[in-house]
Amino acid sequence: MKILWRYILITAAMLLGLYLYFMYHSQDTIVNVLLAKLGVREFPFLMNIWHKHYAIPQWCMYSLPEGLWVFSATLLSIRLQFPIWGKRIQLQYLPFLFAILVELIQVLGITNGQFDWMDIFVSFIFSGLALLIPSKEQKKNAIESREFWLLVLIYALVYLSDV
What pLDDT does residue 64 have?
94
Residues 55-98 pLDDT 10s: 788 888 889 999 999 999 999 998 888 888 888 888 899 999 99
Tell me the pLDDT band of 1, cut-offs 50, 70 and 90. Answer: low
Weakest-pLDDT range from 13-17, 27-31, 131-135: 27-31
- Taking the C-alpha atoms of residue 8 and residue 95, their distance in angstroms, rounded to an integer, is 19
pTM score, whole prediction: 0.83
- Phi and psi at residue 23, to the nearest 5°: -95, -25
User: Which residue range(s) make up the domain with 11?
Assistant: 3-161
Q: Total structural domains in the chain? A: 1
